[in-house]
Amino acid sequence: MKPIVALVGRPNVGKSTLFNRMTKSRNALVDDFPGVTRDRHYADALWDEIPFTVVDTGGFLVSDDDVFAAEIREHVEMAVEEADVVVLVLDGRAGVSPFDQDLVHILRRSDKPVFYLINKIENSRQRDDLAEFFTLGMDKFFPVSAEHGVGVPTFMDALIGVLVDEVLLAPPMDEKEAAENQEICIAVAGRPNVGKSSLINRLFGTKRVVVSEKAGTTRDAIDLTMDKDGKTFRLIDTAGIRRKGKVREKIEKYSILKALKSLDRCDVALILVDASEGVTDQDITIAGYAHDRGCGAVFVLNKWDLLDKEEKNQKMFMEELRMKSKFLSFAPAITVSALTGQRTHKIFSMVESVYDEYNYRINTGLLNRIIENAIYRSEPSLHKGKRLKFFYATQVSVKPPTIVCFVNYPEAVHFSYKRYLINQIREMAELEKTPINLYFREKTGKMEFTGKTVAEKRYTEKKFKTTTRRKKARMEQQRRKRARDGMDK
């Protein structure tokens, strides 16, 4: 297991900027407004070929009017408890704060190695003004600028010196084990306050993300990894996606962009719908975002326990959902309650079945037989008086299954016939829960589908042989007749 490094500090000291610098990414949301980060944010980092995990935490305040302050403090304490090394980030521009004193006292009571970083130090003049930080009682600190990278390499070298024993003691993972531990990436998406964070906490069986009845609690896209039944799942808790017309704040715009990017990198999207409010237009819009990005999808109808007995007509609810989301007719749906845990244990098995089809490769011979038989049952329409010829088909990639058909006139394939072919592939290859991409490319050549089944082919070949034999017999009979006529003369 990789060693864990937790970044802690009061709000707006630059923890998320340092997190992005250490992980060489832009995973953490950064803004000048304090309190952007509320949950624990995990990401892998590598320095001098030594891997480790970095945890970004929310700003720590002992007492605050913010309704999330208590939740954030709890998550900071949990991050410190599970970390191998703790990094306390201080603000070099603002100076020492009473909250810094409180954090230092808390960290001294723990038995974890602690690194003290004074951030936002960009020149020698600022370094000369750091004497007040010695009042915190630290023996050594690292002046850095997370935004510009100044002093960060020196800190990373010192950090690796502490972590290297942790890494060397960990047994290496062989190739077979690495293949078995391939992650299935799941993004939890939906409108604000539909229960995304509550569902993730329920799936983990512990409090991993901040939950509140206030809409917009989750701002960043939070990656969380867990092992279940020998498989590794990476869950991404995303910010609620509201209608564009209702988004005003800059930080919310960034949050929605991060949520949409999460759909780009996930394998399966859990589209959460608030069953107590019914299927809304925004739910269908979010489902459309997942469909456009080509990821697998599962509809999760949350808060099912809040419905009255008269309203718990699952058949009618599903019919309404299918009617409004015809473009995701292949996506399975399940009714759950994140609060009580009702049917939430079925989500992982459903995700696995979707992922297996999402990552499936069809045998080329079988694929061509499916297309051939589909053309025989329903031939495509003529193009400018000429027959549309299908030469052959091949699957070029997975996630999702992507198929290319070579034809003589690619632009002549009507979208309705393309949909017909996709449905035939879905039915015959038993890919009922995954999106399928089908493209047409131009190909010139003699090989083409005859539009006949195997039985029809055999019948045609037999008929051709019989006709040829009869023709040869007639020609031989005529030759003999001409020879007889010549002898008679």
DSSP 307: S
CA-to-CA separations, 430 to 356, 427, 436, 478, in angstroms, rounded: 11, 5, 12, 58
Type of residue found at 420: Y
- Cβ-defined contacts of 373-379 (< 8 Å, 24+): 373/424, 373/428, 373/453, 374/420, 374/421, 374/424, 375/449, 375/451, 376/451, 376/452, 376/453, 376/456, 378/417, 378/420, 379/451
- Pick the residue with more confidence: 267 or 247? 267
- Dist CA 278 CA 269 (whole Å): 19
Do 231 and 337 fall into the same domain?
yes
Q: Is there a single domain that holds both residue 187 and residue 299?
A: yes
Exposed e or buried b for every residue in 334-356, given b needs 16+ CB within 10 A?
bbbbbbeeeebeebbebbebbbe
**Token pair of 408 as six digits:** 């003589």
Percentage of the chain modeled with pLDDT above 90 = 31
Residue 13 shares a structural domain with residue 151: yes
Whether the per-residue pLDDT at 474 is higher than 70: the answer is yes
Q: Looking at the structure, tell me whether residues 157 and 264 fall in a common domain.
A: no
State how far the Cα of 338 lies from the Cα of 237, in Å rounded to an integer: 14
How far is it, in rounded angstroms, from Cα 439 to Cα 341? 42
pLDDT in tens, 314-364: 888 899 999 999 999 999 999 999 989 999 999 999 999 999 999 999 999
Kindly state whether residues 341 and 436 are assigned to the same domain.
Answer: no
163 and 253 together in one domain? no
Residue 459 lies in a domain: no
- The mean pLDDT of 168-181, rounded to a whole number, is 48
Give the pLDDT band (50/70/90) at residue 434.
very high
d(CA 177, CA 248): 47
Pairing relationship of beta strands 41-47 and 4-8 according to DSSP bridges: unpaired
Question: Domain for residue 477, yes or no?
Answer: no
Stated length of the chain: 489
Q: Are residues 376 and 264 in the same domain?
A: no
Bind-site residues? 9-16, 56-60, 119-122, 190-197, 237-241, 302-305
Q: Mean pLDDT check: name the lowest of 324-328, 410-414, 452-456.
A: 452-456
Q: How many separate domains does the chain show?
A: 3
- Phi, psi dihedrals of residue 48, rounded to the nearest 5°: 55, 40
- Could you tell me the pLDDT band of residue 58, with boundaries at 50, 70 and 90? confident
Same structural domain for residues 24 and 78?
A: yes
d(CA 448, CA 107) in angstroms, rounded, equals 73
Our CA angle for 273, 402, 371, nearest 5°, is 110
Query: pLDDT by residue (tens digit) across 129-164?
Result: 777 888 887 778 899 998 888 899 999 999 988 887
DSSP code for 148: T
| Six token digits for residue 279 | 């299927």
Domain-embedded: residue 470: no
Same domain flag for 166 and 181: no
* Structure tokens, 447: 């090989």
Q: Would you say residue 32 has pLDDT above 80? A: no
Contact assessment for residue 58 and residue 76, using Cβ atoms and an 8 Å cutoff: yes
Q: Is 479 part of a structural domain of the chain? A: no
What pLDDT, on the 0 to 100 scale, is given for residue 221? 59
Last residue of a domain, one of 153, 172, 191: 172
Alpha helix (H) residue ranges in 245-385: 250-265, 281-292, 314-324, 347-358, 364-377
Asked whether 35 and 217 are in contact (CB, 8 A), the reply is no
In a domain, 476, yes or no: no
Instruction: List alpha helices for 378-453, DSSP H.
Output: 415-428
CA distance 16 to 29: 7
Q: Work out the average pLDDT over 22-45.
A: 64
Question: What's the rounded Cα separation, in Å, for the pair 426 and 299?
Answer: 20
Question: What is the SS3 assignment for 236?
Answer: strand
Residue 220 lies in a domain: yes
In this prediction, residues 396-407 reach a mean pLDDT of: 92
CATH code, domain carrying 21: 3.40.50.300
Indicate whether 457 belongs to any domain. Answer: no
Whether the bond between 400 and the residue before it is cis, its omega within 30 degrees of 0, is yes
pTM given for the model: 0.61
Same structural domain for residues 190 and 219?
yes
CA 187 to chain centre: 5
Q: Which domain holds residue 432?
A: 364-442
Strand 296-302 relative to strand 333-335, pairing: parallel
- Nearby residues of 173 by Cβ (< 8 Å), 6 or more positions away: 181
What pLDDT, on a 0 to 100 scale, did the predictor assign at position 370? 94
Q: Which of 106, 101, 51, 45 is nearest to 81 (CA)?
A: 106
Among candidate residues 419, 219, 226, 235, the one with its CA nearest the CA of residue 327? 419
Structure token pair of residue 341: 């845990």
**pLDDT per residue as tens digits for the range 297-319:** 999 999 998 888 777 788 888 99
Q: What SS3 state is found at 184?
A: strand
* Type and span of the H or E element at 88: strand 85-91
Extract the annotated binding site for GTP.
9-16, 56-60, 119-122, 190-197, 237-241, 302-305
On the question of pLDDT at 69 being above 90, the answer is: no
Q: Answer for the pair 104, 60: CB distance below 8 angstroms, yes or no.
A: no
In a domain, 465, yes or no: no
Indicate the residue among 106, 140, 172 that finishes a domain: 172
Q: What is the pLDDT of residue 176?
A: 46
CATH of the domain at 398: 3.30.300.20
Same domain, 213 and 331: yes
Mean model confidence pLDDT for the chain: 80
State whether 164 and 203 are in the same domain: no
